Structure 1
Amino acid sequence: MIKGLDHLVLFCLDTEKSKEWYEKAGFQYSHGYEGMHWFHLGSGLIMLHPADTVTPGDTAVHAAVEDVHQHFRQVKENGLVPIDHHLGSQPIGEPVTRPWGDIEFELDDVDGHRWAFTQRAL
């Protein structure tokens, strides 16, 4: 029986640079080993794994947040630029309400992995 997500592996060209980005994006660091870094994601983990090549745009992950507006402010204060891929990855000034009711914004990490930070519709 599958119990849930253990960890998601994201391949990165420079895991140290990626580690800094994930910290700025608000992820809590768990541990590291020989160039690999793990961050908490709910009951699971994200693993940053060294790679020689990465294809930007092949990964999209949605992370649930309690307060999307607060998280939006936090990532901007940390120097990151929230985007909306529905607008051609243009920078946005506030989280977007999707037609299905979720409120979210997106960030692309240093390797092009897309993250959406989503507050679910009530």
Structure 2
Amino acid sequence: MTFERMGTPNDRRQHDDAHVESLSAITLATHDMARAVRFYEALGFRILHGGANEAFTSFALGASFLNLTSETHDPIRFWGRVIIYVSDVDAFYRKAKAHGIGPQFEPRDAPWNERYFHLTDPDGHELSFARPL
């Protein structure tokens, strides 16, 4: 299917009442669950299931979920970036720094009308914390 054949969102809805409403969860792989759990807990993520000694852990992320799964064989490669909206980018940046987590740069305003900063979790996943301006 090419983009031209996909049509607009309204065109698609006329033909199909089923549509994407939201992101439910994202799952990231880790080689060290205990280390990953400590990292996300330091950022204030709340565990709903699993924990440091489990193979699968799920955190509350607003109305969505961030899941971690243990990966014991293949090396994890960088795959992309998770963008997480927070209530106050600068306060969240200070929180990360207070827990010894080093963001890649200080919060900045982007030309796409967001304030944001990036950090990398212990397994190399890039996280962007942002808020629309």
TM-score (norm 1): 0.82
SS at match of 1:72: helix
**Residue 6 (structure 1) aligned with residue 6 (structure 2):** no
Match of 2:128 among 102, 108, 116: 116
Q: Which has the higher strand share?
A: 1
**Residue 47 (structure 1) aligned with residue 67 (structure 2):** yes
Q: Distance in 2 between matches of 1:42 and 1:71?
A: 15
List runs of 5+ in structure 1 lacking aligned partners. Answer: 84-91
1:102 matched residue in structure 2: 114
Q: Distance in 1 between matches of 2:80 and 2:38?
A: 19
Superposition CA RMSD, Å: 1.6
Q: Which has the higher helix share?
A: 2
Contact preservation (8 Å) 2:29, 2:76: no
Q: Give structure 1 regions of 4+ aligned residues with deviation exceeding 4 angstroms.
A: none
- Pair 1:97–1:103, CA change in 2 (3 A): same
Which structure's CA Rg is the greater one?
2
TM-score (norm 2): 0.76
Q: Shift in Å at residue 27 of structure 1?
A: 1.6
**Partner deviation per Cα, 1:79-112 (whole Å, 9 max, x = no partner):** 10011xxxxxxxx3x3011122211011100110
Match of 2:55 among 11, 35, 53: 35
Q: Shift in Å at residue 68 of structure 1?
A: 0.5
1:74 matched residue in structure 2: 95
**Partner deviation per Cα, 1:13-32 (whole Å, 9 max, x = no partner):** 11111111111123222121
1:17 matched residue in structure 2: 35
Provide the aligned length of Structure 1 versus Structure 2.
112
List runs of 5+ in structure 2 lacking aligned partners. Answer: 1-17
Taking only the aligned residue pairs, the percentage that are identical comes to: 29
Higher relative contact order (CA 8 A, sep 6+): 1
